[in-house]
Amino acid sequence: MATLPLPLIQGTLDLMVLRTLSRHAMHGYAIARAIHDRTAGELAIDDAALYQALHRLHRLDLVEAEWGPSDNNRRARYYTLTPAGRKKLREATSQWRRYTRAVDAVLQGA
Amino acid sequence: MMGYRYLRRRPKTVASEVDEELRVHLELRIEELRARGLSKADAEREALRLFGDLERTRRYCRRQDEHREDEVQRTLMFQDFMQDARIGLRSLLRAPVLSLTIIIITVGLGIGATTAIFSAVNAALLRPLPYAEPTALVRIYTDSPPFKFRFSAADFLALQEQQTRFTQIAAYTDRSMTFSNGAIAEVLNGRLVTPAFFGLLGIKPALGRDFTEADGHPGSPQTVIATYEFWQRRLGGRADAVGTSIKLDGADYRVIGVLPRISGPLERRRDFFVALQISPPTRKGPFLYTTIARLKSPQTRQPLSTNCAPSIAGSFRSGNRRIRTTKPHGAWTT
């Protein structure tokens, strides 16, 4: 009955991370939880890939990182979107929609 | 350059930040798993399993952060540089017009000459040149638009033989050479210069003698002039060091002189100067030699008159009729 989580399509993790951060600043663990909850565990995203994505996005100046206190008095690294990150999110979202619509259109005839 | 106004975060900081971030993540995950009833040991194992390749991620994140640090640093330094350039430009605009003249003469030839007045270049650095009549000093490039090249040995010898426009010309090229004295061996910055180099600049050695024509003949004993700093540091600062031999790249060089303590941009960051011995070249390249020259009369505000271009062109390599003269180039005055 339990199905295996789906492998991730290249590039989609960056997009999901940007979307998750679009509302407010979050640390890595919270992002992992949020994505896992929203996808109902359907996607196989290990934490390793998530942190690599965060640091990659940071390097590209799409997210900003800042240390701050977490819920239980730990120091956590909080990420927020930069204006460039917000722009990237808009573009990538619309591209993704076009992409899935196109694939869908083909698949509907199948 | 004003020096570092920005402290660079060391790679060590980057590494420990990545470590801390990942550690906090694992702690939070373990707490969550224990809240679901796992034992401490099981929760730790499960947290690591869920994480995936921890070591690889640690390395990847560090690398990304280090690159980012470098990029940020470069941006800041560039901003500093632009700031300094603006300040420099403002001082230049206040400086007397004479020192601002920059002249680039372009004469066509497979090789032409592009000259720039030295004092103007150095004015940017806001230091007086410690050379005799600096406004008569120029640097010459061979010209093949859009490129400016240094000279090949063949070009330099031809120009030296044929030119009439300059009182003197000299060439130099830099080389790292290993200095050894039996006790230590150290790679130092040498500059190979044609014998006229110091005479052209108006620099007299503080000790010993300058290079002579004979020092530049292939087969003559190899000679070297030490900078003041090198003489102090490696030759004991003793007057009798002049006349002794030192080993550079394993060969003997006779120390014939020591430069004065004050140095200009053409001696800075060099340890010693070796007399360049150019053998008659068998081919055109390589283009190693930076060429400097002294004009017959110091520059006035008038740029080098355009008729000097044909005169260089005409005296240098007959046979090439293509002569092109560009307008005086006042890049820093406008």
pLDDT tens, per residue, chain A with 110 residues: 456 777 777 778 999 999 999 989 999 999 999 999 998 888 878 899 999 999 999 999 999 998 888 777 788 899 999 999 999 999 999 999 999 999 999 998 76
As a whole number of angstroms, the distance between CA B150 and CA B261 comes to 29
In a domain, A54, yes or no: yes
Q: For residue B28, list chain A residues with Cβ-Cβ distance below 8 A.
A: 29, 70, 74
Does any CB of chain B come closer than 8 Å to the CB of residue A27?
A: yes
Q: What angle do CA B179, B183, B188 make, to 5 degrees?
A: 20
DSSP code, position B279: P
With CA atoms as reference, report the closest residue to A97 among A20, A12, A18: A12
ipTM: 0.86
In a domain, A2, yes or no: no
Verify whether the Cβ–Cβ distance A51 to B25 is below 8 Å.
yes
Q: For residue B60, list chain A residues with Cβ-Cβ distance below 8 A.
A: 52, 55
In a domain, A4, yes or no: no
Tell me which residues of chain A, numbers 77 to 106, contact chain B at a CB-CB cutoff of 8 Å: 77
Does any CB of chain A come closer than 8 Å to the CB of residue B70?
A: no
CB contacts < 8 A (A, B): 62
Residue B94 has pLDDT above 70, yes or no: no
pLDDT at position A72 is 72
Q: Model's pTM, two decimal places?
A: 0.46
Write the single-letter amino acid at B161. Answer: E
Does any CB of chain B come closer than 8 Å to the CB of residue A7?
A: no
In a domain, A110, yes or no: no
Write the single-letter amino acid at B230. Answer: F
**Chain B closest CA to A62's CA: distance in Å?**
12
Range of the domain at A86: 12-103
Residues B174-205: tens digit of each pLDDT: 899 999 988 888 999 999 999 999 999 899 99
pLDDT more than 70, % of chain B? 63
pLDDT at position B213 is 93
Q: Which of A46, A58, A76 is the closest to B51 by Cβ?
A: A46
pLDDT at position B139 is 76
From residue B21, give the alpha-carbon distance in Å to each of A76, B4, B50, B126, B172: 6, 29, 16, 48, 54
Q: How many domains does chain A have?
A: 1
**Chain B closest CA to A105's CA: distance in Å?**
36
Residues B286-327: tens digit of each pLDDT: 667 888 888 776 654 334 433 333 333 333 332 222 223 333
Residue A63's H or E segment, with its range, is strand A63-69
pLDDT at position B149 is 66
Count of other CB atoms within 10 angstroms of residue A106 = 8
In a domain, A34, yes or no: yes
pLDDT at position B86 is 58
Q: For residue A56, list chain B residues with Cβ-Cβ distance below 8 A.
A: 64
Residue B88's H or E segment, with its range, is helix B54-94
User: Could you tell me if B195 and B273 are in contact, meaning their C-beta atoms sit under 8 angstroms apart?
Assistant: no
Q: In the structure encoding, which two tokens stand for residue B34, read together?
A: 């224990």
Q: In the structure encoding, which two tokens stand for residue A7, read together?
A: 């492998």
Residues B109-150: tens digit of each pLDDT: 333 445 555 555 544 444 556 778 777 777 776 655 555 667
pLDDT at position B147 is 55
In a domain, A109, yes or no: no
Residues B145-179: tens digit of each pLDDT: 555 667 778 778 877 877 777 888 899 998 999 99
In a domain, A21, yes or no: yes
User: Could you tell me if B178 and B250 are in contact, meaning their C-beta atoms sit under 8 angstroms apart?
Assistant: yes
Q: What angle do CA A34, A35, A39 make, to 5 degrees?
A: 120
Verify whether the Cβ–Cβ distance B24 to A49 is below 8 Å.
no
**Which pLDDT band, with edges at 50, 70 and 90, does B278 fall under?**
confident
Verify whether the Cβ–Cβ distance A55 to B29 is below 8 Å.
no
Q: How high is the mean pLDDT of chain B? A: 73
Interface test with B, best of A36, A45, A52, A79 (most B CBs within 10 A): A52
- Higher-confidence residue: B238 or A9? B238
Residue B141's H or E segment, with its range, is strand B137-144
CATH number at residue A99: 1.10.10.10
